[in-house]
């Protein structure tokens, strides 16, 4: 088990390196630069700026310098918000986004699994039909439709929840964005659990348990463990989906998270800011996939031995 | 002696919608007896067995009665039934691979039954589980309790399944083809174990099998099933010595005729191979050391036109790997000479024109035909590659002719594989090879997935095709009875090496190597060769 974790961690290093390299060079391929404005800067000023931010060095050297500072944990200065370093910007925004994402994932897991179990009965039963229907809407409705509807309903009509803002993470402000972000994930997890449990109950070794007259709860426990595996492997992907989904949700609800840096940074060619968000997102995705691998190995001895 | 039978089937039928797979089955099982239920695939024997403990799939509807000690199992409440399941009547399934939960250790699975059904404490259950593993002949039982199913061999898994089945001391054991998925030498030992346990624990046994000649060794009574009905039943001695039904006689005689020895002659050599070796590297990652498995280890052989070299061996012996290596489908070391041409140095492009002369027929007639292609296209696909100039009509004509040659209706070309039976599909697979007029055909267990009666037909077909076209066969099989129907020579493989090689008759009658002897004994039961 420990060997698996160490091996995966070491395997993550080249993955992260490739992502950083690809993002770094692709960004430089995009036309324009961080200091372009409506009115062109004085050539000397531009030259000075480029020298200060070391953008006048050869590209390979810039890449090397970036890697070195990255290893030291320094994302560099923001090229757009010139009074702040990327680290300072993230120190404020990351906890907000992390809270939002973690809550959405947790909701997806809890509600999704519960719904999946409820819908795992007979295919024509009421539970199964409800889960089927809910899952369908959850998947097809995009966040930019769900969010305004929720704002209209709960904010403007019922006046029970605020339509936006963060207020330092007040629980009332969190409910709508977390739900919007979690909805498609809830639907997918529910479907995976539902199908996983149905398939598991038809497995030959479940029939073996029935042949021994073992109690229903014992049989359910065996089936559940087999059914969790497909849902678990989806969680890595779900984490990535939540991260990208948060860009839209944070914008709609006006939440001061990482999402806006993604968009603003890319539009303003704020090289260091975009690179910082890319590194953070990539590291999170790698981390969640590692968690999934560990969970999988913990549940399935066949994986453990590979 | 008790007058009332232990278990009796009274007009049992099992229906799936409008079609019945078990029809009006009635028979009884006495206390302590071995009752064999024999039939080919689709005869309804497994459905009959599953009905006893109501383990049939939800869409099946059983009718009639199965009376166990005065109670109808089909009418019992779920609660009363659960009290009988495992405690009084226990089940051993065919597939030891899938019958155990891969996610739980062997000890946890046996322990759960002991705790939940016998009321043992955690520690008492662990101790008893260890005793049970010891009883079914698993070495180091204490250590094995912590093992997961995938860490055990097929034979050991079946032993674990047996340990689970006897854990509550049942009066009746139902074994559904318990040895079919196992190698012959392993199957013989599992059977011995079952019979020994039955004697010692005084259980009755319902033994489901497709193999009447296997059952003859220990059954007290026999039920022969066909198409869901019992066609013949009675004491084993009577049925086996004087079968009344044609079908029973067919099952009994269903060991293919051995091939007559044919003089070697001076037919040209089609294939010769020297020192073929092939190693798999197990992926060990950067922390584990390199681990190499020699699947094939220094094998040499020669095959002449019109003759068959049989390759015998159990699973994992490397026989299939050898077959693929000889056709250069997988990279291997050593020299391969096909019709005087050294293939060793040829690359893929250079091999391609030769491919049509070296064909392969696979074991699984279900998996080897694309389900989305019509039979005619499956059969003629090779022509598209090797004779691209042919017109569509000419290809279709050839496909029809190839199907006729394997005794199939040429009209089947418009059908899809799922509309055909297993035997028909295997004929299609053979037609697909034959349409290219090959000179060497590697047959990899071509009859193993088929019922005996179908096997015999396929073997006769292969023999006729060989005589008509002077084909050279490499015939890979774990089943010596099948092998001797076609092979002129036999090579016995174990752990990637040939342990004995020679004339078929000599290997089957007087094997010198100890392993070859064990294989022959397991295949023919020592009572006939």
Q: Do B148 and A299 touch (CB under 8 A)?
A: no
Q: Name residues whose C-beta falls within 8 Å of residue B40's C-beta, 6 or more positions apart in sequence.
A: B210, B226, B251, B451, B452, B453
Q: Does A208 touch chain B (CB under 8 A)?
A: yes
Residues A117 and A51 in one domain: no
Q: Do B100 and A205 touch (CB under 8 A)?
A: yes
User: How high does pLDDT run on average in chain B?
Assistant: 89
Residues B215-240 pLDDT 10s:
888 899 999 999 999 999 999 988 88
Q: Residue B263 pLDDT > 90, yes or no?
A: no
Report pLDDT for B294.
84
Residues A123 and A9 in one domain: no
Most A CBs within 10 Å: which of B49, B56, B82, as the mutation test of the A interface?
Answer: B82
Min Cα separation A204/chain B (Å): 5
Task: Please name the member of A203, A211, A299 whose beta carbon is closest to the beta carbon of B85.
Answer: A211
Query: Could you tell me which of B477, B9, B55, B12 has the C-alpha nearest to residue B256?
Result: B477
Tell me whether residue A216 is in a domain.
yes
Q: Does B117 touch chain A (CB under 8 A)?
A: yes
> What is the count of structural domains for chain A?
2
Tell me whether residue A110 is in a domain.
yes
Min Cα separation B103/chain A (Å): 5
DSSP notation for B486-511: T-SEEEEEETTEEEEEEEHHHHHHS-
Most B CBs within 10 Å: which of A198, A206, A213, as the mutation test of the B interface?
Answer: A213
Q: Does A32 touch chain B (CB under 8 A)?
A: no
Residues A22 and A101 in one domain: no
Residues A50 and A170 in one domain: no
Residues A246 and A105 in one domain: yes
Residues A60 and A16 in one domain: yes
The dihedral region occupied by B474, where left means phi > 0, alpha psi between -120 and 50, and beta the remainder, is beta
Q: Do B101 and A226 touch (CB under 8 A)?
A: yes
Higher-pLDDT residue of B288 and B152 is B152
Q: Does B157 touch chain A (CB under 8 A)?
A: no
Q: Does B82 touch chain A (CB under 8 A)?
A: yes
Interface ipTM: 0.78
Tell me whether residue A76 is in a domain.
no
pLDDT band at B260 (very low <50, low <70, confident <90, very high): confident
Report pLDDT for B210.
86
Min Cα separation A208/chain B (Å): 6
Q: Does A195 touch chain B (CB under 8 A)?
A: no
Tell me whether residue A284 is in a domain.
no
Higher-pLDDT residue of B323 and B529 is B323
Q: Among the three residues A217, A239, A257, which one is the final residue of a domain in this structure?
A: A257
Residues A10 and A134 in one domain: no
Q: Determine the average pLDDT of the residues in B244-252.
A: 84
Q: Does A124 touch chain B (CB under 8 A)?
A: no
CA–CA dist B211, B216 (Å, integer): 9
Report the CATH number at residue A147. Answer: 1.10.3720.10
Residues A222 and A164 in one domain: yes
Say what percent of chain B tops pLDDT 70: 96
Residues A29 and A120 in one domain: no
Where b means 16+ CB within 10 Å and e means fewer, B59-76 reads ebebebbbbbeeeebbeb
Residues in A touching B150 (Cβ below 8 Å): 301-302, 305
Residues in A touching B84 (Cβ below 8 Å): 213
Report pLDDT for B529.
32
Tell me whether residue A305 is in a domain.
no
Q: Do A210 and B148 touch (CB under 8 A)?
A: no
Contact, A299 vs A224, CB < 8 A?
Answer: no
The dihedral region occupied by B479, where left means phi > 0, alpha psi between -120 and 50, and beta the remainder, is beta
Phi, psi of B349 (to 5 degrees): -65, -40
Residues A101 and A45 in one domain: no
Q: Do B102 and A213 touch (CB under 8 A)?
A: no
Task: Please name the member of A3, A211, A222 whose beta carbon is closest to the beta carbon of B287.
Answer: A3
Q: Do A210 and B55 touch (CB under 8 A)?
A: yes
Domain carrying residue A161: 94-257
CA–CA dist B79, A304 (Å, integer): 38
Tell me whether residue A189 is in a domain.
yes
Residues in B touching A204 (Cβ below 8 Å): 93, 95, 98-99
Q: Determine the average pLDDT of the residues in B153-169.
A: 91
Helix (H) or strand (E) holding A168, with range, is none
Residues A167-202 pLDDT 10s:
888 889 999 999 999 999 999 999 999 999 988 988
Tell me whether residue A269 is in a domain.
no
Task: Please name the member of A212, A222, A226 whose beta carbon is closest to the beta carbon of B117.
Answer: A212
Which positions of chain A have pLDDT values less than 70? 122-123, 305-306
Residues B84-140 pLDDT 10s:
999 999 999 988 778 999 999 999 999 999 999 999 999 999 999 999 999 998 889
Residues A204 and A99 in one domain: yes
Task: Please name the member of A3, A205, A211 whose beta carbon is closest to the beta carbon of B53.
Answer: A211
H helices within A30-76, ranges in order? 43-52, 59-71
Q: Do B113 and A214 touch (CB under 8 A)?
A: yes
DSSP notation for B79-147: HHHHHHBTTTEEEE-S-HHHHS-TTS-HHHHHHHHHHHHH---HHHHHHHHHHHHHHTT-SSHHHHTT-
Residues A61 and A103 in one domain: no
């Amino acid at each position: 088990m420990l060997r698996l974790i160490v091996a995966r961690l070491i395997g993550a290093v080249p993955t992260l390196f490739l992502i950083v390299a690809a993002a770094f060079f692709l960004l430089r391929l995009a036309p324009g630069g961080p200091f372009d404005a409506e009115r062109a800067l004085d050539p000397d000023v531009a030259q000075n700026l480029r020298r200060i931010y070391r953008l006048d060095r050869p590209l390979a050297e810039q890449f090397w310098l970036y890697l070195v500072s990255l290893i030291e944990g320094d994302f560099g200065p923001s090229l757009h918000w010139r009074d702040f370093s990327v680290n300072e910007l993230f120190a404020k925004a990351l906890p907000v986004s992390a809270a939002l994402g973690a809550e959405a994932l947790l909701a997806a897991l809890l509600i999704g699994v519960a719904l999946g179990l409820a819908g795992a009965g007979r295919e024509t039963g009421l539970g199964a039909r409800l889960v089927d229907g809910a899952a369908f809407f959850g998947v097809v409705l995009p966040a930019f439709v769900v969010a305004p509807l929720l704002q209209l309903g709960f904010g403007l009509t019922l006046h029970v929840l605020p339509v936006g803002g963060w207020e330092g993470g007040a629980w009332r402000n969190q409910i709508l964005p977390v739900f919007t972000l979690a909805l498609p994930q809830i639907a997918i997890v529910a479907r995976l659990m539902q199908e996983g449990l149905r398939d598991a109950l038809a497995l030959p070794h479940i029939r073996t348990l029935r042949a021994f007259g073992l109690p229903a709860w014992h049989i359910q426990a065996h089936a559940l463990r087999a059914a969790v595996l497909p849902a678990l492997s989806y969680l890595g992907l779900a984490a990535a989906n939540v991260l990208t989904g948060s860009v839209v949700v944070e914008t709609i609800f006006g939440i001061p998270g990482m999402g806006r840096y993604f968009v603003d940074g890319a539009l303003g060619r704020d090289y260091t800011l975009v690179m910082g968000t890319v590194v953070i997102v990539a590291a999170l995705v790698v981390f969640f996939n590692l968690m999934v691998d560990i969970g999988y190995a913990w549940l399935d001895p066949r994986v453990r031995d590979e | 002696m008790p007058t009332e039978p232990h278990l009796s089937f009274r007009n049992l039928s099992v229906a799936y919608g409008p079609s019945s797979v078990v029809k009006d089955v009635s028979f009884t099982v006495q206390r302590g007896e071995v009752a064999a239920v024999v039939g080919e695939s689709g005869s309804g024997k497994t459905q009959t067995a599953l009905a006893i403990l109501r383990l049939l799939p939800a869409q099946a509807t059983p009718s009639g009665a199965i009376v166990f000690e005065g109670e109808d199992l089909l009418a019992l409440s779920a609660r009363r039934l659960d009290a009988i399941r495992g405690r009084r009547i226990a089940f051993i399934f065919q597939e030891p691979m899938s019958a155990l939960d891969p996610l739980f250790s062997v000890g946890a699975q046996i322990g759960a039954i002991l705790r939940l059904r016998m009321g043992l404490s955690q520690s008492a259950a662990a101790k008893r589980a260890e005793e049970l593993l010891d009883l079914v002949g698993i070495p180091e039982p204490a250590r094995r309790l912590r093992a997961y199913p995938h860490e055990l061999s097929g034979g050991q898994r079946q032993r674990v399944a047996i340990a689970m089945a006897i854990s509550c001391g049942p009066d009746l054991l139902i074994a559904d083809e318990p040895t079919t998925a196992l190698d012959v030498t392993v199957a013989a030992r599992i059977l011995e174990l079952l019979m020994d346990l039955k004697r010692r624990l005084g259980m009755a046994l319902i033994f489901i099998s497709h193999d009447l000649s296997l059952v003859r060794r220990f059954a007290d009574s026999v039920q022969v099933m066909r198409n869901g009905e019992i066609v013949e039943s009675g004491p084993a001695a009577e049925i086996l010595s004087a079968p009344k039904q044609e079908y029973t006689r067919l099952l009994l005689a269903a060991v293919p005729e051995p091939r007559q020895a044919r003089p070697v002659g001076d037919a040209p050599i089609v294939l010769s191979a020297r020192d073929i070796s092939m190693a798999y590297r197990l992926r060990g990652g950067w922390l584990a050391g390199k681990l190499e498995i020699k699947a094939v280890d220094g094998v040499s052989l020669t095959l002449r036109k019109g003759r068959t070299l049989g390759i015998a061996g159990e699973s994992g012996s490397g026989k299939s790997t050898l077959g693929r290596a000889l056709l250069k489908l997988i990279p291997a070391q050593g020299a391969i000479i096909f019709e005087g041409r050294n293939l060793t140095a040829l690359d893929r492009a250079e091999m391609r024109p030769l491919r049509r002369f070296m064909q392969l027929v696979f074991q699984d007639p279900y998996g080897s035909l694309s389900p989305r292609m019509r039979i005619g296209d499956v059969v003629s696909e090779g022509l598209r590659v090797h004779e691209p100039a042919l017109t569509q009509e000419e290809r279709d004509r050839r496909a029809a002719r190839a199907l006729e040659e394997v005794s199939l209706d040429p009209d089947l070309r418009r059908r899809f594989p799922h509309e055909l039976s297993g035997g028909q599909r295997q004929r299609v697979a053979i037609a697909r090879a034959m349409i290219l007029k090959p000179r060497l055909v590697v047959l990899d267990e071509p009859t193993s997935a088929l019922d005996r009666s179908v096997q015999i037909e396929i073997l006769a077909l292969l023999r006729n095709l060989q005589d008509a076209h002077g084909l050279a066969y490499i015939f890979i099989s774990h089943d010596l009875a099948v092998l001797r129907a076609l092979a002129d020579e036999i090579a016995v493989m174990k752990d990637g090496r040939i342990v004995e090689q020679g004339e078929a008759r000599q290997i089957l009658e007087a094997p010198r190597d100890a392993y070859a002897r064990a294989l022959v004994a397991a295949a023919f039961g020592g009572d006939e060769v």
